[in-house]
Amino acid sequence: MADLAVEYLPPSALKDLLQKNQNAYRSGSIFADSGYAANHAYGEFSHWHDFLNQYQQTLIERCPDPGATENCAKVWAHFFGTVAHALSDNNFDRYFVPQVAAHDFNVNAVLKLLLFRRSESSLFFSPSLIRTDHFLSSSAV
């Protein structure tokens, strides 16, 4: 889904950044779930808005110009990959899982799991919190 999102972007500094740093972007898009594979707590908290907002704030402080250095461009691309993952999971959990539950599994058990998971965290990351002003000018990258 992360790759598809880049395809749908209009020509822009953001699209250029993500295409030029595709490995970092893709790494970000699987980063959150790597915590589950490593059985580490970051697998869960890196999916949520507190982490994503702090990640963004750190980048704004340390790399205010995403195109200033090669490393800044890579970490911004990684950040956007992480955001793409969180948004994809949000839609997957909200729309796809209930459909699978309704058609293929015990609906009540799956819905209980989803409700438990949502009660564990302060809900979803809001994409409106992402500042895009860094990417609106073509000189940003």
Distance CA 132, CA 130 (A): 6
Choice between 16 and 33, CB closer to Zn ion: 33
Residue 129, phi-psi category: left (phi > 0), alpha (psi -120 to 50), beta (remainder) = alpha
Residues in the chain: 141
> Per-residue x/- marks for Zn ion, 34-53, CB under 5 A?
--------------------
Q: Answer whether 27's CB lies under 8 Å from 16's CB.
A: no
Q: Which is nearer to Zn ion, 80 or 135 (CB)?
A: 80
- Nearest CB to Zn ion, comparing residues 21 and 46: 46
Q: How many residues bind Zn ion (CB under 5 A)?
A: 3
> Is 17:63 a contact under the CB 8 Å cutoff?
no
Cβ proximity to Zn ion: between 22 and 43 the closer is 43
> Considering only residues 63-102, where is the footprint of Zn ion by CB under 5 A?
89
Residues 6+ apart with CB under 8 A from 130: 56, 83
Given the complex with Zn ion, which of 29 and 56 has the nearer CB atom?
A: 29
Instruction: Determine the Cα–Cα distance for residues 111 and 69; give it in Å rounded to an integer.
Output: 46
CA pair distance 83, 52, nearest whole angstrom: 7
Stretch that binds Zn ion, among 14-22, 27-35, 66-74, 124-132 (CB under 5 A): 27-35
What minimum distance in Å lies between the beta carbon of 132 and Zn ion?
Answer: 23
Residue 125: other Cβ atoms inside 10 A: 22
User: Quick check: 16 binds Zn ion (CB under 5 A)?
Assistant: no
Q: Which of 12, 15, 16, 33 binds Zn ion (CB under 5 A)?
A: 33
Minimum distance from CB of 47 to Zn ion (Å)? 5
